[in-house]
Amino acid sequence: MRTGRRIGPVFLFAATVAAAGCAPATPDASQLLRLATTTSTYDSGLLDSILPVFEGAYDADVDVVAVGTGQAIEIGRSGDADVILVHSRNAEDAFVADGYGVERFPVMFNDFVLVGPHADPAGIASAATGAEALQRIYDSQSTFVSRGDDSGTHAKELALWQAASLTPALTDAWYLSIGQGMGETLQFAHEQQGYTLADRGTYLSVADTLPDLMILFGGGTIAENPDQAMRNPYGVIQVRAPDLQSSEAQAAAEFVAWLTSLETQEMVRDYGVAEFGQPLFYPSSTAWCEASGPDSPGCSS
């Protein structure tokens, strides 16, 4: 758990209150920006790695609220965040279409993998697609652990079931919908020796605590993932503020531009390579795709 960034804002708040009490606010005080995002971007350490660059360059302080995609979008809807960075394409498009967001920009992607016990009782390792793998789990009634929390990962799982034309019932003893985060769900699957769908980044970051689980579908790296439908794209959206000329709104727009810029995208590409031997996220912003060519993975969509 990385706590530095979560403690920072509290100190800053206390310092701001103290400062406000004794001195008039200086016009060049650093801009406070609140980012609502998913636990996957935060727990992977990506934000801790790249945000200080933005804070330094723009004299801003970014408060990160790391929650499920559903809650992150709701926080944006109620105007309690300036920017959201999430991974649930349909919900993102609805957020913009309903007028809560300015525009959705692609940022990066990683992919989903199906993990399970080494014995692979359902035999999903030889499946051609994620949907086929789920079909085999369904047919063999093997234990499957679902996030069940309206997260981006849960949305992807439901889309895969739909692609397989199956609807597992909550009354099925083998289908366990636990409504918890990715880390907890992986621990649960490990304990129960069941299958689950996980984003590769989170799985890699906790894999050393899960000796009895392995990736059974999705390959060793994102390039080896046989199914394009297992891609997991992230988007960034500036929340539509009442006054788009306000300093918060401008800082939010600056943040979106910075996150999708070529320089930041290169930082995203390099993050995690030293620690995990492969990137956790692959850049896919418009600027990145223009620079690296349309054949670059994730740029065609």
Q: Among 1-9, 142-150, 159-167, 215-223, which window interacts with other proteins (CB under 8 A)?
A: 142-150
Number of residues that bind other proteins (CB under 8 A): 23
Token code pair at residue 119: 């014995």
Place of tokens 């086929």: 132
Choose which of 16, 30, 71, 292 interacts with other proteins (CB under 8 A): 71
- Residue 90 CA to residue 232 CA, distance in Å, equals 12
When asked if residue 179 is in the footprint of other proteins (CB under 8 A), the reply is yes
Q: How far is the CB of 279 from other proteins (least distance, A)?
A: 28
When asked if residue 182 is in the footprint of other proteins (CB under 8 A), the reply is no
β-partners of residue 105 are 236
When asked if residue 75 is in the footprint of other proteins (CB under 8 A), the reply is yes
- Residue 111 CA to residue 32 CA, distance in Å, equals 32
Q: How far is the CB of 170 from other proteins (least distance, A)?
A: 5
Q: Among 25-33, 126-134, 186-194, 230-238, which window interacts with other proteins (CB under 8 A)?
A: 186-194
Choose which of 59, 139, 191, 290 interacts with other proteins (CB under 8 A): 191
When asked if residue 84 is in the footprint of other proteins (CB under 8 A), the reply is no
- What residues numbered 263-292 form the site for other proteins, per CB under 8 A? none
Of 117 and 130, the one with the shorter C-beta distance to other proteins is 117
Of 70 and 201, the one with the shorter C-beta distance to other proteins is 70
Q: How far is CA 39 from CA 68, 166, 181, 225, 233, in A?
A: 6, 28, 8, 23, 15
Place of tokens 């009354």: 171
- Residue 48 CA to residue 68 CA, distance in Å, equals 18
Query: Which pairs from 220-229 meet CB under 8 Å and 24+ separation?
Result: 221/278, 222/110, 222/111, 222/278, 222/279, 222/282, 222/297, 223/297, 225/111, 225/113, 226/128, 226/129, 227/128, 227/129, 227/130, 227/131, 229/129, 229/130, 229/131, 229/159, 229/160, 229/163
CB 111 within 8 A of CB 225: yes
The identity of residue 225, as a single letter, is N
Choose which of 61, 92, 111, 150 interacts with other proteins (CB under 8 A): 150
Neighbouring C-beta atoms of residue 129, cutoff 10 Å: 17
Choose which of 33, 51, 67, 127 interacts with other proteins (CB under 8 A): 67
Of 187 and 292, the one with the shorter C-beta distance to other proteins is 187
Choose which of 37, 60, 68, 259 interacts with other proteins (CB under 8 A): 68
When asked if residue 116 is in the footprint of other proteins (CB under 8 A), the reply is no
When asked if residue 194 is in the footprint of other proteins (CB under 8 A), the reply is no
Of 185 and 264, the one with the shorter C-beta distance to other proteins is 185
Note the residues at the interface with other proteins (CB under 8 A).
67-68, 70-75, 77, 148-150, 170-171, 176-180, 184, 188, 191-192
